[in-house]
């Protein structure tokens, strides 16, 4: 049992070691196809897929080379030759318009079909595939010495022709496919637009570093011909500008900037923003509240009759006949006091004197009230007080009689 277990462990170790060696060998010997993960077709990139060698080639052939890190519509409006190669960020309508206006005013434009917005504006698309390139081989190129060099020459890069919906007048083929693989097709064509020139390249692979490094393919000669065709009459005064903004360089707005521009500058964005605010208000109105509403506290109060009854019992308990009489007289003054000539600040005695002056027949009733206000009386005497109050109120409520 022990020998069998050890044998199994050793077999597993050997198997894992063999697989590890195979993985490392495949990773080291298998070439990786260049793509945008290596920087794309950027002039900053010196990897296989970049166009840093094209940038240096333009410098060595007399161009004043620069890089653009801002959108074309916000750049300085000087005449330039713009180079747009396989942008990784979509070009806007204003950007394409400014590029073409720059050409019409005397500048130039070199772009690849990968810049779909420019291609659609000019009515050009990628055509049939072909092979590149035998007619541009420099006779000074060294003969291939290794198996790898021969393999590279045996399989040149695949390119495409150009398909035009309506070919522009005066179009010239700058770079063509290899005739050995079929009829020659234009890989790069140029034509005049206004005062400037436009060069259309169907495949950005012929401008990449890995293509320019192989002398036998002649990609360097083809690139030099493209640059030469786009050169204006006074090359020293017009710079060659590589678009790096659409390769991710420079300042770019984030998702919040894009959303805010959509909501603020488009009609559909305005409608969507209004619908969003309305939905938010509806959600807040229907959502449960953090603090539930409280019912208003209702304080039970006595009715006037209950209050009068309770007050009467309270006065009766302490035999407060004078206070009760004073309150009764005060109520009388509020009801019929305006019929008696007396000041508002006069006391109750003065009020009763004025009542006697107005109607001497009320002297007996006034005397009862005077006595109840000034001295305590038995509870039974309050009935006489109420009768005196009723008589005075009845008499004062009647209109005064005119003398005959």
Res 146: pLDDT: 63
Res 340: pLDDT: 82
Retrieve residue 18's tokens. Answer: 């063999």
Q: How many residues does the chain have?
A: 404
Three-class SS of residue 254?
coil
Res 156: pLDDT: 66
pLDDT, tens digit, for every residue of 295-334?
A: 777 777 766 667 777 777 777 777 778 888 888 888 888 8
Res 31: pLDDT: 45
Which one is predicted more confidently, 9 or 391? 391
The C-alpha R_g of the chain, in whole angstroms, comes to: 53
Distance of CA 153 to the CA centre of its chain: 52
Over residues 350-370, the mean pLDDT reads 86
Res 6: pLDDT: 45
pLDDT, tens digit, for every residue of 222-236?
A: 899 999 999 876 556
In degrees, rounded to 5, the angle at the alpha carbon of residue 80 between the alpha carbons of residues 74 and 81 is 115
**Which of these ranges, 108-117, 150-159, 317-326, 376-385, has the smallest mean pLDDT?**
150-159
pLDDT greater than 80 at residue 349:
yes
Res 150: pLDDT: 57
pLDDT, tens digit, for every residue of 70-110?
A: 887 655 567 889 999 999 888 888 889 999 999 998 899 99
pLDDT greater than 70 at residue 206:
yes
**How far, CA to CA in Å, does 387 sit from each of 338, 351, 366?**
21, 18, 11
What's the distance, Cα to Cα, between the start and end of the chain in Å? Answer: 150
Over residues 209-222, the mean pLDDT reads 83
Res 345: pLDDT: 79
- Cα atoms in the 13 Å half-sphere on the side-chain side of 76: 8
Q: Confidence band (pLDDT; 50, 70, 90) for 148?
A: low
pLDDT greater than 60 at residue 5:
no
Three-class SS of residue 124?
strand
Res 72: pLDDT: 77
DSSP single-letter state for residue 299: P
Helix axes 363-374, 381-397, angle to 10 degrees: 130
* Mean pLDDT across the chain: 79
H/E stretch holding 308 reads: helix 304-318
d(CA 268, CA 17): 61
Res 139: pLDDT: 65
Three-class SS of residue 309?
helix
d(CA 221, CA 227): 10
**CA dihedral over 65, 114, 32, 38, signed as positive or negative:** positive
Q: Which residues pair with 191 in a beta bridge?
A: 198
Q: Which residues pair with 163 in a beta bridge?
A: 125
pLDDT, tens digit, for every residue of 230-255?
A: 987 655 678 999 999 888 887 666 67
pLDDT greater than 70 at residue 283:
yes
d(CA 203, CA 167): 19
Q: Confidence band (pLDDT; 50, 70, 90) for 32?
A: very low
DSSP single-letter state for residue 91: P
Percent of the chain residues topping a pLDDT of 90:
17
Res 396: pLDDT: 83
Phi and psi based region of residue 141 (left: phi greater than 0; alpha: psi -120 to 50; beta: remaining): beta
d(CA 118, CA 127): 16
pLDDT greater than 60 at residue 37:
no
Query: Prior bond to 133 cis, omega within 30?
Result: yes
Domains by residue range for the chain, with CATH: 36-139+148-257 (3.40.50), 305-397 (no CATH)
Helix axes 348-358, 381-397, angle to 10 degrees: 50
pLDDT greater than 60 at residue 149:
no
Res 154: pLDDT: 54
């Amino acid at each position: 049992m022990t020998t069998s277990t050890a044998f199994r462990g050793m077999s597993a170790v050997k198997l894992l070691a063999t697989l590890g060696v195979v993985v490392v060998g495949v990773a080291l010997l298998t070439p990786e196809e260049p793509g945008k993960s290596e920087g794309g077709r950027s002039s900053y990139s010196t990897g296989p897929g970049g166009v840093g060698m094209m940038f240096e080639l333009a410098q060595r052939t007399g161009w004043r080379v620069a890089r653009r890190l801002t959108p074309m519509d916000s750049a300085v409006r000087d005449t330039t030759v713009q180079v747009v190669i396989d942008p990784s960020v979509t070009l806007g309508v204003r950007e394409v318009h400014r590029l073409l206006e720059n050409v019409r005013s005397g500048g130039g434009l070199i772009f690849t079909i990968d810049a779909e917005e420019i291609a659609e504006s000019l009515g050009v698309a990628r055509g049939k595939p072909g092979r590149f390139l035998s007619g541009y081989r420099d006779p000074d190129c060294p003969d291939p010495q290794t198996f790898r060099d021969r393999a590279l020459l045996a399989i040149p890069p695949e390119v495409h022709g150009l398909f035009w919906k309506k070919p522009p007048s005066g179009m010239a083929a700058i770079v063509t496919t290899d005739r050995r693989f079929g009829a020659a097709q234009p890989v790069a064509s140029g034509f005049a637009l206004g005062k400037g020139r436009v060069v259309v390249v169907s495949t950005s692979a012929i401008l990449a570093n890995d293509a320019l490094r192989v002398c036998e393919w002649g990609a360097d000669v083809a690139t030099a011909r493209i640059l030469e065709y786009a050169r204006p009459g006074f090359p020293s005064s017009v710079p060659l500008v590589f678009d790096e903004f659409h390769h991710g360089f420079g300042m770019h707005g984030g998702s919040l900037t894009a959303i805010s521009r959509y909501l603020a500058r488009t009609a559909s964005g305005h409608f969507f923003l209004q619908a969003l605010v309305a939905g938010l208000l509806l959600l807040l109105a229907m959502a449960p509240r953090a603090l539930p509403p409280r019912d208003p506290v209702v304080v039970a109060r006595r009715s006037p009759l209950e209050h009068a009854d309770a007050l009467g019992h309270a006065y009766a308990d302490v035999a407060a006949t004078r206070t009760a009489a004073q309150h009764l007289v005060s109520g009388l003054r509020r009801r019929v006091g305006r019929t008696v000539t007396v000041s508002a600040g006069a006391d109750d005695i003065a009020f009763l004197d004025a009542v006697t002056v107005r109607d001497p027949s009320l002297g007996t009733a006034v005397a009862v009230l005077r006595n109840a206000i000034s001295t305590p009386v038995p509870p039974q005497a309050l009935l006489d007080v109420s009768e005196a109050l009723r008589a005075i109120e009845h008499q004062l409520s009647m209109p005064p009689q005119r003398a005959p």
